[in-house]
Amino acid sequence: MSRPTFSGDYQLLTTRPDKRRLSTEDPEYVYVCPNTDITAAYMYAKAYYSDATTNVHSVSLSNLNKGETKCVDIGFAAMSYNSSIPVGETISKIEVYVGTADTEDDGDKLTYIPYTPLSDLKLRVYYSNSYGGLDSLICIGDRQETVESSYQMASVQIAHDAVLQESPQFIIQNSRGRRSFEIHTGHMPEKELKALRELGVKKPLSIYETVNGTATL
């Protein structure tokens, strides 16, 4: 976890490596922390195509105040990357950075390599990291969800005419239970696997699902 260095005008709050994957089907959130006031700032996403051409997508961040973080969704649906792909070409990479002009790309910058998860059965996990940002884990393949409840031995007084087998022998100690998942990430670059150590520490996490047609975290 060598990031961030907290140098320059701003920092992108993530513990994942500078080069990482970007799912074409899921949101991706980036937290911006300005180290100084920035007037009329933008989040830029510069797409590089297989024919060596480029196109810059942008989101207005308005005025950034020193130390006040701002969250931006730079996923495919939010930024409409597909709308600018030249006919017959593909996106080779996307560079994300902040500035007041799209040529100001010398600050903290992330490079995303687009990919499409191979399975329709996915678990989308977004978790808080040590720097106050939000990192993602897109899982693939079958997943099994279980709910575990805690029980303890019951101390029950039995009537003189009762049958032992008819008396409850256990009571629920934790009626809410605990949800657990068996998940599969598929192949991941080594540096991204190291960044997942953050998920192993006690930190808040959210699961992204579509409930009754509404995308929900």
Supply the pTM of this predicted model.
0.80
Helix (H, G, I), strand (E, B) or coil at 200: helix
Q: Are 75 and 94 in contact (CB under 8 A)?
A: no
* 110 vs 155, more confident: 110
State residue 175's pLDDT score. 55
Determine the Cα–Cα distance for residues 113 and 111; give it in Å rounded to an integer.
7
- pLDDT 10s digits, 34-90: 999 999 999 999 999 999 999 999 999 999 999 999 999 999 999 999 999 999 999
Q: Is 62 left (phi over 0), alpha (psi -120 to 50) or beta?
A: left
Helix (H, G, I), strand (E, B) or coil at 28: coil
Sign for the pseudo-dihedral over CA of 169, 173, 175, 180: negative
Helix (H, G, I), strand (E, B) or coil at 78: helix
Residue 183: what are its φ and ψ, rounded to 5°?
Answer: -120, 160
